Amino acid sequence: MSAARPPSTLSAARAVLYKELTLERRAPQTLTAMALFCASAFVIFHFALGRDAIEGALASGVLWVTLTLAALLGIGRSFVADREEGGLDGFLLAPAPRSALLIAKATTLFIFLLIVGLLAALLFSVLLLGPTPSASQWASIALLIVLADLGIALVGTLIAGIAIQTRARDLITSILALPLLIPLLIAVTKASEPLLSVGAGTLTGRWLALLGLYDLIFGLLAYALFDYLVED
C-alpha cells in the first residue's frame, strides 16, 4: 500500500543536514553569535592582558579558550529549533536510523565550528598574534582546528542530546562540556604553542595522536550511546 521504503542512515542524515543548513541560512543566529563572541573576546583579552601582541603558550591559550567558549554557544543552540514545534518528534516518528540524527547534528556543529575557527584564527592573527606564521604553520593550525573541532562536535552533540531534555539546559551544557573537553584542550593548546611562537615551530606527533585518540574514542561512545538519549 505505501510507496515508501525506510531511508538509509546516510540519506536520512543528509536530509537532516540539509534542513539544518537551510535553517541556519534563513536565520543565521548561531554562526553570527559565535563569530561576534570571538571578536569581542579578543578585544577583552587585549585590555585584560594589557598587551598589543602575544605569542607562544599565552597566544595558544587565548585562542583556544575563546574558541571553546564560542563552541559552547553552538552546542547550546544545537537542538533548540527541534524543540520549538516538535521537530525532534518528527524525526523520531520516521523509520530513519537514530544514528542519522547524531551524524547530521555533529556534522552541522562541525561545519559551524570550522567556519568560526578559521575566521577566528585569521582575526586573531591580525588583532593579537605577535609572530606571523608561515604558510606551512598555517596549514598545521588548520589541521589542528579540524581535529579539535571534530572532537568538540562529537562530544558537543552528545552533551546537547543530554541537555535538551533537562530543565537547566544552558547550565548543564557548560558544566558538562568544559571538563569533558579538557583532554582535548590540553592536546590542542600544547600542539599550537610552537606554531604561535617566534621561530619555525612545528607540530608534535604525540599531540596529534592524542587528538586523534580523543576523536575516535568519543566518536565511538557518541555513536553507541546516542540512541539512549533520543529514544523513549
User: Which CB sits closer to another protein, 120 or 222?
Assistant: 222
Task: Decide: is 57 part of the binding site for another protein (CB under 8 A).
Answer: no
Q: Tell me the closest approach of the beta carbon of residue 19 to another protein, in angstroms.
A: 5
Nearest of 155, 147, 7 to residue 78 by alpha carbon: 155
Q: Which long-range contacts (CB under 8 A, 24 or more apart) does 137-143 make?
A: 137/195, 137/200, 137/201, 137/202, 140/195, 140/202, 140/203, 141/192, 141/195, 141/196, 142/118, 143/203, 143/208
| Residue range at the interface with another protein (CB under 8 A); choices 38-46, 113-121, 123-131, 161-169 | 161-169
Binding residue (CB under 8 A) for another protein from 52, 126, 167, 205:
167
* Grid cell locating 128: 593579537
| Shortest reach from residue 127's CB to another protein, in Å | 27
Q: Which of 111, 190, 208, 212 binds another protein (CB under 8 A)?
A: 190
Question: Given candidates 116, 176, 195, 196, which one binds another protein under the rule CB under 8 A?
Answer: 176
Using CB under 8 A as the binding rule, whether residue 31 contacts another protein is answered as: no
Which are the contacts of 24, defined by CB distance < 8 A and separation ≥ 6?
Answer: 30, 31, 108, 112
Answer yes or no whether residue 132 interacts with another protein by CB under 8 A: no
58 is a contact residue toward another protein (CB under 8 A): no
**What b/e readout covers 102-138, taking b as 16+ CB neighbours within 10 angstroms?**
bbbbbbbbbbbbbebbeebbebbbeebbbbebeeebe
Q: Cα 92 vs. chain centroid, distance in angstroms?
A: 24
Looking at 134-204, list the stretches that DSSP marks H as alpha helix, in order from N- to C-terminal side: 135-163, 169-192
Within residues 89-118, the interface with another protein by CB under 8 A covers 89-96
Indicate the residue among 127 and 162 with the shorter CB distance to another protein: 162
End-to-end CA distance of the chain: 29
Of 38 and 67, the one with the shorter C-beta distance to another protein is: 67
Query: Exactly one of 40, 136, 166, 202 binds another protein (CB under 8 A); which one?
Result: 166
Shortest distance (Å) from residue 15 CB to another protein: 4
- Interacting residues of 77 by C-beta distance below 8 A, sequence separation 6+: 29, 30, 33
Interacting residues toward another protein by CB under 8 A: 1-7, 11-12, 14-16, 18-19, 22-23, 26-27, 81, 84-87, 89-96, 158, 162, 165-168, 171-172, 175-176, 178-180, 182-184, 186-187, 190, 206-207, 210, 213-214, 217-218, 221, 225, 228-229, 231-232
